[in-house]
Every structure is written in structure tokens, then in C-alpha cells.
Amino acid sequence: MEKLRGFEVAKGFENSNINIPERKTKFSAGYDIEAAEDVVVPSFKKGMAPTLIKTGLKAYMQDDEMLLLYNRSSNPKKKGLILANSVGVIDKDYYGNVDNDGHIMFAFYNIKEEDIVIKKGECIGQGIFQKYLIADGDFATGVREGGFGSTNKE
């Protein structure tokens, strides 16, 4: 069977009992993604960086596809968790990169007054595979050199 798109366990997480994401219903767009380990998301203080929550996953896809990472709809109200980048974008060439093998992470801020504990195996967000279009005159030939946040690094 040809591999079109899907999830695999990222290097370093092979023995961590990582669950491959699943859709829960026939018409769900998103694949539920879990935390790979316990983590504390501290209450937000001005100037702090978001907390990266590891998933232990990487995603493969077709050349004209991306994986979009969305927050769970219940996270902001119940846990005070919001995605730092609103929507995460995982490009095809992030898969298997030399820096981190394409390991997917969610970047959260906690807007509650108390720290929030996320347990391993807890659903933290969802991933949706989607096609994208290229503009006229786009002849991009660049090659990814690294992992998370590496697109504009010199």
C-alpha cells in the first residue's frame, strides 16, 4: 500500500507508548493528538515564552499538502490554554528533518491564574491535513535545513 499521508512515531519516542492520532467519528475533520509526556503549563506572565508540549509524532504527506494544528475547542474555557501561533502549520519538508526528525509540538500559553498540568496521553489538540495552492510565478527551490522554527534562520 502506498503511503499518502499519516502519522508516525518520531525518533526518540519509539519506546514511549505514543498513540497514533485517530478521528473519533466518520465525519470528523481532525485527528486527536495527545501529549507525549506530563508537562506543567505555567500561568502566563508578561514576556514569557510559550510552553512546547511534545507529541512524539511526525507527519508525512503529499507535495501539495500541509498539516494544520488546532487547539481543542474546550481548552481555552476549561484549562485556559491558547495556542501561541493560533494555528500551527506543519509543512511536508518538516518530516524527518535533521534537527528533530519532524517532531510535532504544540506551543501553548496558559491564561488562567494557576498552573495547568497536562498528563501523558491527554488530548491537547487536533491535526487536519489540507491541500494548498501555489501562486502564479512561484518557483521556490529552497530546501529545509532544520526543524522547529527554522524557515527564516540564516
In this predicted structure, what is the pLDDT of residue 151?
Answer: 54
pTM of the model: 0.90
pLDDT of 69 over the 70 cut: yes
Dist. CA 98–CA 74, nearest whole Å: 34
Name all domains of the chain by residue range, CATH numbers in brackets.
6-131 (2.70.40.10)
Model confidence pLDDT, tens digit, residues 71-101 = 999 999 999 999 999 999 999 999 999 999 9
- CA distances (Å), origin 14, targets 20, 54, 67, 121, 146: 12, 14, 22, 15, 21
pLDDT tens column, 123-151: 999 999 999 999 999 988 877 576 555 55
